[in-house]
Chains A and B, each alone.
Chain A
């Protein structure tokens, strides 16, 4: 008991200044920088192959569904908007953040599901990982983003679970948001490069 009170006194009179950035947020930012470099490498390789090709997409290969994916892109951007609302609501009262957070997750899940549907139809039309460099790069880049989107949904799901139990730390929530904003912010760049 005495030990516990001494420990609490130490915490109260801790002379150290508060951290400039909470550790979960800093760790997530460093991770996002590393992931951005990976995508930068993929996009560089793609642009070199695209520049060297006689025509893009190569003849005989199916065209990518530009319009449908544009709608899907809007859904993903809307999920970022919902997450922004969730963050503002969290600052007011933690319970208020629940609904916009679930909305963000639902929109993100829609994006991933729609992409899966798109992939199935493209495979049916003959665009596979081995059909051409177009197919290889499409599935590699878009697939890598989809993996990150699924990971982002898991991170948001963990935050939502913690929020429902009332144990969500603000720094953990910010770290989850950083990752989701990375997933959302990267997609328009990939869409512009790969689809258009």
Chain B
């Protein structure tokens, strides 16, 4: 017995070839009919792309800065301690 599903899939594929439509996948290009909406789409896309990078980048930058500060403090403490241990 032949499987039915592959032939149905092929038929649907062929049917789609005969019914072409614009693939409105890009919301910035097709959903926003007015200029204001298009600008809002583009602005929010840029914002949502940059915002997580900015947040995580800021956290990493701040942690690195704090780590360097702590290193400096511990180095200074060691330098202070060193002469007293010798004497």
- Residues of A that sit less than 8 Å from B by CB: 17-18, 20-21, 29-30, 33, 36-37, 40-41, 44-45, 47-48, 50-52
Q: A40-B51, A44-B48 are in contact. Are A52 and B32 (CB under 8 A)?
A: yes
B44 pairs with A47, CB closer than 8 A: yes
Residues on B with C-beta less than 8 A from A36 are: 51, 55
B47 CB–A CB distance under 8 Å: yes
Residue pairs across A and B with Cβ atoms less than 8 A apart, 11 shown, are: A18-B70, A20-B67, A21-B63, A21-B66, A37-B55, A44-B47, A44-B48, A45-B44, A50-B40, A51-B34, A52-B32
Interface size for B (C-beta < 8 A) is: 22
Residue numbers in A under 8 Å from B40 (CB-CB) = 47-48, 50-52
Q: How far is the CB of B64 from chain A (nearest CB, A)?
A: 9
Determine the chain A residues whose CB is within 8 A of the CB of B51 once the complex forms: 36-37, 40
Q: A51 contacts B37, CB within 8 Å? A: yes
Q: Which 4 A-B residue pairs are closest in the complex by CB-CB distance?
A: A51-B40, A44-B44, A52-B37, A51-B36
Binding site for A on B (CB under 8 A): 32-34, 36-37, 39-41, 43-44, 47-48, 51-52, 55-56, 59, 63, 66-67, 70, 74
A47 to B38, CA, bound (A): 11
A34→B56 CA distance, assembly (Å): 10
Inside 8 A of A52's CB, which chain B residues have their CB?
A: 32-34, 36-37, 40
Q: State whether B37 touches A41 (Cβ < 8 A).
A: no
Task: Known A20-B70, A21-B66; judge A40-B47 contact (CB<8 A).
Answer: yes
The CA-CA distance from A21 to B70 in the complex, in Å, is: 11
Cβ–Cβ contact B74 & A17, under 8 A: yes
Is B48 a contact partner of A29 (Cβ separation < 8 A)? no
CB distance from A108 to the nearest CB of B (A): 24
